[in-house]
Amino acid sequence: MTNKNYHGNNRDQSSVELALMESQSSLEVKLKHLRDAYEQGFIDEIAYSAKRLEIEELMQAFNQCVDTEEKLIKLQHLLDEGILTQGEFEMKRSELIHESSHSEVEVQIAKLNAALACGILSQEEYEIQKLAIKQKSELSNQIK
């Protein structure tokens, strides 16, 4: 890899890391504002719990995306260094993307669980939406 490529990849990685840190900070600020609104009596406990769970689920999904992005950057670096062949890189990249899409399904189901627990969804609505998520995931996997 040339020195120019190395610095370009570091700059790309730094900008990705900066954007990820800003997103994480934004979610933490939203959670703090939500907590403040609840403590000051602007929202009730049910609304607070539902929104808090939603933000926490977003934070969990965000962290999974960060992990995937870091792994993709490392894979690219290994390819650039000649440690991985293009075929090995593509195979590992495909595995990471597949794992990531599976995690997204888990996050969607966790959101449904939170909505059910807060009384936002009835058991019947929950089951219907959960089935739809699983069917969509299976269809996506068949297409891949």
Domain that holds residue 138: 3-143
Distance, in Å, from the CA atom of 1 to the CA atom of 56, rounded to the nearest integer, reads: 40
The pLDDT assigned to 14 comes to 66
In terms of DSSP H, where are the helices of 2-144? 3-39, 45-80, 86-117, 123-143
The whole-number pLDDT of residue 76 equals 92
Q: What are phi and psi of 9, to 5 degrees?
A: -65, -40
Per-residue pLDDT tens digits for 4-31 = 444 444 555 566 666 667 777 787 888 8
- Two tokens, residue 40: 């000051």
Q: What is the tally of structural domains in the chain?
A: 1
The overall average pLDDT reported for the chain is 79
Rounded-to-5 percentages of helix, strand, coil across the chain? 90, 0, 10
Residue 79 confidence (pLDDT) above 90: yes
Taking a C-beta distance cutoff of 8 angstroms, is the pair 92, 75 a contact?
Answer: yes
Which pLDDT score is estimated for 7? 42
Question: Does pTM surpass 0.75?
Answer: no
End-to-end CA distance of the chain: 32
Residues 132-143, mean pLDDT to the nearest whole number:
78
- The answer to whether 71 touches 89, Cβ cutoff 8 Å, is no
Residue 105 clears pLDDT 50, i.e. is over it: yes
